[in-house]
């Protein structure tokens, strides 16, 4: 059986990093998916990501723990960039995605 090399260490995937500080780049679009369960935040992102220019950032506001890991996984699957995830003061995250195509 073969295993993909991950750069050493444990082969299990780690959770995406969370940054406590505010975003470094202002999003071109913010999608409010607070209170919605996955996969709705991903569906909302997929429907609207093409509204922003190439290389711009979309922020998805979500409080479902599944969205915290599923949106970065969707980015890898669709070749977009997961910029960062920021904790929101009221709970949940602002998950920033850069449109690559």
pLDDT at 25: 82
Q: Report pLDDT for 51.
A: 98
Please state the domain extents for the chain: 24-98
pTM: 0.79
CATH fold label, 24-98: Translation Initiation Factor IF3 (3.30.110)
Would the pLDDT of 17 be above 80? no
Catalytic hit among 27, 31, 33, 38: 38
Residue 76's closest CA among 49, 100, 93? 100
Question: Kind and range of the H or E element at 95?
Answer: strand 93-98
Does the active-site annotation cover 38?
A: yes
Q: What is the tens place of the pLDDT at every residue in 31-59?
A: 999 999 999 999 999 999 999 999 999 99
Which residues have a Cβ under 8 Å from the Cβ of 33 and sit 6 or more positions away?
A: 40, 41, 44, 60, 61, 62, 64, 67
pLDDT at 1 over 50: no
Q: What is the CA radius of gyration of the chain?
A: 14
Residues 96, 57 contacting (CB under 8 angstroms): yes
| 63-85 tens-digit pLDDT | 999 999 999 999 999 999 999 99
Q: If you ran DSSP here, which 8-state letter would residue 83 be given?
A: E
Higher-pLDDT residue of 12 and 97 is 97
């Amino acid at each position: 059986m073969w295993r993909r090399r991950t750069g050493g260490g444990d082969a299990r995937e780690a959770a995406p990093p969370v940054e406590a500080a505010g975003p470094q780049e202002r999003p071109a679009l913010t999608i409010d998916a607070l209170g919605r369960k996955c996969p709705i935040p991903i569906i909302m992102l997929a429907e609207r990501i093409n509204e922003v220019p190439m290389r711009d950032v979309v922020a998805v506001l979500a409080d479902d723990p599944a969205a915290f890991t599923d949106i970065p996984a969707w980015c890898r699957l669709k070749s977009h960039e997961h910029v960062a995830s920021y904790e929101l003061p009221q709970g949940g995250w602002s998950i920033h995605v850069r449109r690559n195509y």
